[in-house]
Amino acid sequence: MTYLIRGASILGGDPTDLLLRDGVIAGIGTGLAEDAETIDATGLIALPGLVDLHTHLREPGREDAETVLTGTQAAAMGGFTAVHAMANTEPVADTAGVVEQVWRLGREAGYCDVYPIGAVTVGLGGTQLAELGAMADSAARVRVFSDDGKCVSDAVLMRRALEYVKAFDGVVAQHAQEPRLTEGAQMNEGELSGRLGLAGWPAVAEEAIIARDCLLAAHVGSRLHVCHVSTAGSVEIVRQAKEKGWNVTAEACPHHLLLTDELASTYDPIFKVNPPLRSAADVEALRAGLADGTIDIVATDHAPHPHEDKDCEWAAAAFGMLGLETALSIVQETMVDPGLLDWAGVADRLSYAPARIGRVSDHGQPIAEGAPAHLVLYDPSVRRVIDAGDSASLSRNTPYAGRELPGRVVATFLRGRATVLDGKLC
């Protein structure tokens, strides 16, 4: 299929035409003529295909919550062309066999390129290093390793993992949660948790692990990535590590850029997430950190759950919320519209930088002639009310239902093939 996109604004620049042919961007310029399917992109922003470094696709094992097919369909609807699938599946993605299965399912589905993340420890058990080398050498070519959902809290294991991944330029993505400091924790620790009678989750439980891991990464000369940074103190620690020239990167999630712990007062578990929603001051620090590059990327932590795991009392409910289909709108709302980030900055934080951290060479490239045709067309001028029932995900646990958000993904192209057109799945 050949597409001629008319009048798109690349990263917010002057309108131009884009020709997508044979999987690549074959031409950029005004007044292009070609026998092709023509798309009127007047008023639309063209961005490189988004790359998510933190997605839970749930398959294998929890196909009642999400499958590789439905998760990548949700990703395409959100403008993503590549997602990294977290390892906390059943069985855990801790062998070459499981990561190759997930990788293959992604290719068969065809909506997004799926890059499996390998577990750091066997069964996420936190006691024995998984076969990192075998996963790196597999057909899935794993470069990102994480026990996400659980913290690699044993300092010796964390050190060994950081040392091991150096051999193939891998990175350890840490879910920073000191387990003893968060036993039974339900929400951000503060005045509100005391008032609501929910066990508090102190900021220091996240910050202590991040500080330790930055020191470990510097000590062994390896690459550390910090998942879902949620506190002002964490931003400050990452900032200091970067000032020292240490190889540390960090992500923020859309929900931590928008929502605060005040929502816990509803006792609605739709707002229960790990790490928890924090204070307004933390939200402000995250936005500033993302703007100045201390926080390298936005990652969704898309965490689908069937309603029986969320539709219960707060303490019994699962942690996590959907994120793929609303990420770009929330970045517009929290970063672009207030003037903290321009569209070139959005392309960096949601495409170039996550691809670079994940060592994905086929994604996250600037929109240029000859580049792979991974592309999003986005309309920033519309506003829409989020309806959970509209989601392409198998699950419905969006915290934004009923909320009005700006922007809409109009089209997504993966290697020049439309996965989304007119805001609908192809």
81 vs 174, beta carbon nearer Zn ion: 174
From the list 175-183, 314-322, 337-345, 366-374, the region that binds Zn ion by CB under 5 A is 175-183
From the list 156-164, 171-179, 393-401, 406-414, the region that binds Zn ion by CB under 5 A is 171-179
Find out whether 79 and 409 touch, Cβ atoms under 8 Å: yes
Q: Supply the minimum distance, in Å, between the C-beta of residue 303 and Zn ion.
A: 8
89 vs 419, beta carbon nearer Zn ion: 89
The DSSP letter of residue 278 is -
Which residues 331-360 are close enough to bind Zn ion by CB under 5 A? none
Crossing angle (nearest 10°) for helices 203-220 and 232-243: 10
From the list 39-47, 167-175, 213-221, 290-298, the region that binds Zn ion by CB under 5 A is 167-175
Sign of the CA dihedral running 73, 76, 82, 88: negative
| Of residues 310, 338, 293, the one with CA closest to residue 398 | 310
9 vs 230, beta carbon nearer Zn ion: 230
- Kindly tell me which residue out of 52, 59, 113, 148 binds Zn ion, with binding defined by CB under 5 A: 148
Number of residues that bind Zn ion (CB under 5 A): 2
Q: Supply the minimum distance, in Å, between the C-beta of residue 307 and Zn ion.
A: 22
Find out whether 209 and 151 touch, Cβ atoms under 8 Å: yes
176 vs 264, beta carbon nearer Zn ion: 176
148 vs 379, beta carbon nearer Zn ion: 148
Q: Please identify every residue annotated as catalytic.
A: 301
Q: Supply the minimum distance, in Å, between the C-beta of residue 143 and Zn ion.
A: 18
If one asks whether residue 175 binds Zn ion (CB under 5 A), the answer comes out as: yes
Q: Supply the minimum distance, in Å, between the C-beta of residue 130 and Zn ion.
A: 17
Locate tokens 């949660």: which residue? 177
Q: What angle do CA 394, 53, 349 make, to 5 degrees?
A: 115
| Of residues 403, 373, 400, 421, the one with CA closest to residue 2 | 373
318 to each of 72, 196, 274, 302, how far by Cα in Å?
Answer: 22, 19, 9, 13
Find out whether 303 and 320 touch, Cβ atoms under 8 Å: yes
| DSSP output for 229-265 | --SHHHHHHHHHHHHTT--EEEEE-HHHHH--GGGGG
211 to each of 20, 101, 424, how far by Cα in Å?
Answer: 45, 35, 44
Q: Supply the minimum distance, in Å, between the C-beta of residue 174 and Zn ion.
A: 9
17 vs 148, beta carbon nearer Zn ion: 148
Q: Supply the minimum distance, in Å, between the C-beta of residue 344 and Zn ion.
A: 29
Q: Supply the minimum distance, in Å, between the C-beta of residue 87 and Zn ion.
A: 11
**Which residues neighbour 87 within 8 Å (Cβ) at sequence distance 6 or greater?**
93, 94, 116, 117, 118, 119, 124, 145, 146, 147, 148
Q: Which residue is nearest to Zn ion (CB)?
A: 175
175 vs 374, beta carbon nearer Zn ion: 175
If one asks whether residue 251 binds Zn ion (CB under 5 A), the answer comes out as: no
From the list 38-46, 71-79, 163-171, 173-181, the region that binds Zn ion by CB under 5 A is 173-181
Amino acid, res. 345: G
Locate tokens 């192209």: which residue? 413
The DSSP letter of residue 131 is -
274 to each of 108, 269, 337, how far by Cα in Å?
Answer: 31, 12, 27
From the list 140-148, 200-208, 345-353, 401-409, the region that binds Zn ion by CB under 5 A is 140-148
What is the binding site for Zn ion (CB under 5 A)?
Answer: 148, 175
